[in-house]
Structure 1
Amino acid sequence: MQPPPPGPVALLLAAGAGRRLGLGPKALLPYRGRPLVEHALGVLRAGGCARAVVVLGAGAAEVAARADLGGCTVVRNPDWASGMGSSLRAGLAALDSVAPGAPAALVGLVDTPGVTPAAVARLLDAQRAGAELAAAAYGGRRGHPVLIGARYWAEAAAGAVGDAGARELLRAHAAELALVECGDVAVPDDVDTAEAWAAWSGARP
């Protein structure tokens, strides 16, 4: 029997310094007893991503030393301070060599602890049903994670400038974008302030 074709690869962007938080690199924020980057990787894997690439930037050496990143490919982004776009470019540039044959990348952010395996699984289901561009939606509004088909990787990288990430790509291909409602199984909040982090780390399950 032929082995099944490879599925989408998880691409976790975890390079931010968390300057507004003032608590060090976001990847190392303590969440449920472990660094936040471990939680985010665990969600992507539990949702069905067998392969994972994580992009580090701020404090990359410390993150690699303190977090368990076993089983995934680590890409270091020396230009992380220029914004999330550079991390998306760095991650996408690595995919052809580290995840050959992947039909899509499922892009997640380290600072969205409310994203769940169920949300990831819904996006993977959409890809299996034929979607090449998909995004989790919350009450009909686009959020994360985002699934980008391989044929869009070059275009996504070209439009990833500053903190824009995949925004330009999704805007240009709005007619092809599948919005996958996840508001019943996940929370879209990103953690950018000390108050937001306190709410997540102390008050939310």
Structure 2
Amino acid sequence: MNSKKTATFLLATGQSLRTGGPNKLLLPFQNKSLVRRTAETILESKTGPLIVVLGHEARKVHEELQDLDVEFVLNTDYKKGILTSLQSGLRSFHGNVDGFMVVLGDQIFLRPQSLNILRRHFIAADPGPSLIAPLYNGERGHPFLISSHFIPEILEQTEQLEKGARFLFRRHPYHVHLVDMPPQFLNNDVGTPEDYELMRQG
């Protein structure tokens, strides 16, 4: 059962269109940038190699993370939608894994335990393809874990790229496993300037 291997893609490509102004991934929070805090959390978990997909202000984000044990992939099509970032990561990754975690670059309240919980459910799932996603107070959120079985389908997708991998969950409901997360595990990301100010004050 423990033979299943995973990797993690950290999508750090966004243009911060909702926050406006500077790149939100580089904003400080408790002496670290949002993206670095998220990357360090992933590295503390047991989810395998970490691949950081760059896009908007790629050089600055690269400089922020270059001393960490991560691989970098550049997505030149990031403006077309978030799914292009996952597609770029998958095309560039040559490791042999059974599944992969997808994490957003501003999930600073993510905990290593939550990633490991999702991975344990993936390992324990019945043989065959699976889509593992967390439930926070009854709502599906990020990050999620996808069987490598679905890679060809992801790479072939050309529509609604801005909606990411949601199409897989709609298309394959019988492969979806939803995991109730403990109430102290937050699902917050930083979508607006107000979110950021609340986070700093909290």
Question: TM > 0.5 between the two?
Answer: yes
Residues 101-148 of structure 1: per-residue CA shift (max 9 Å, x gap): 111110000122222212111101011102631001112221111101
Cα drift, residue 69 of structure 1: 4.9
Structure 2: gaps (5+ residues): none
Q: Unmatched 5+ residue regions in structure 1? A: none
Per the alignment, residue 99 of structure 2 pairs with: 104
Give, in angstroms, the shift of residue 27 of structure 1. Answer: 2.4
Given residue 80 of structure 1, which amino acid in structure 2 is its aligned partner? Y
Correspondence for 1:180: 179
Check conservation: 1:17, 1:25, Cα contact below 8 A.
yes
Relative to structure 1, is the Cα distance of residues 159 and 189 closer, same or farther in structure 2, using a 3 angstrom cutoff?
A: farther
2:192 is equivalent to residue 196 of structure 1: no
Residue 94 of structure 1, CA deviation: 1.9
Q: String of CA shifts for 1:11-54, please: whole Å, max 9, x gaps.
A: 11010121221242232121221221111112222221231001
Q: Deviations over 1:39-81 (max 9, x none)?
A: 1112222221231001110100111123345211101111111
Aligned partner of 1:89 in structure 2 is 87
2:168 & 2:67 partners in 1: Cα distance? 29
After superposition, what is the alpha-carbon deviation per residue over 1:182-203, rounded to whole angstroms, capped at 9, x for unaligned? 1424111221110011111331
Say if 2:129 is the partner of 1:130: no
Q: Which residue of 2 aligns with 1:116?
A: 111
2:157 and 2:79 map into 1 onto residues whose CA distance is: 17
What is the CA–CA distance in structure 2 between the aligned matches of 1:198 and 1:162, rounded to whole Å? 29
For 2:25 and 2:54, how far apart are their aligned partners in 1?
8
Instruction: Give the root-mean-square deviation of aligned CA atoms.
Output: 1.9
TM-score under structure 1 normalisation?
0.88
Question: Alpha carbons of 1:174 and 1:60: their partners in 2 closer, same or farther (altered >3 Å)?
Answer: same
Q: Please give the alpha-carbon distance, in whole angstroms, between the structure 2 residues aligned to 1:92 and 1:159.
A: 13
Q: Does 1:80 align with 2:78?
A: yes
**Identical pairs, percent:** 28
Q: Give the 3 Å change call, closer, same or farther, for CA 152–73 of structure 1 in structure 2.
A: same
Cα contact 2:36–2:64 (8 A) shared by 1: no
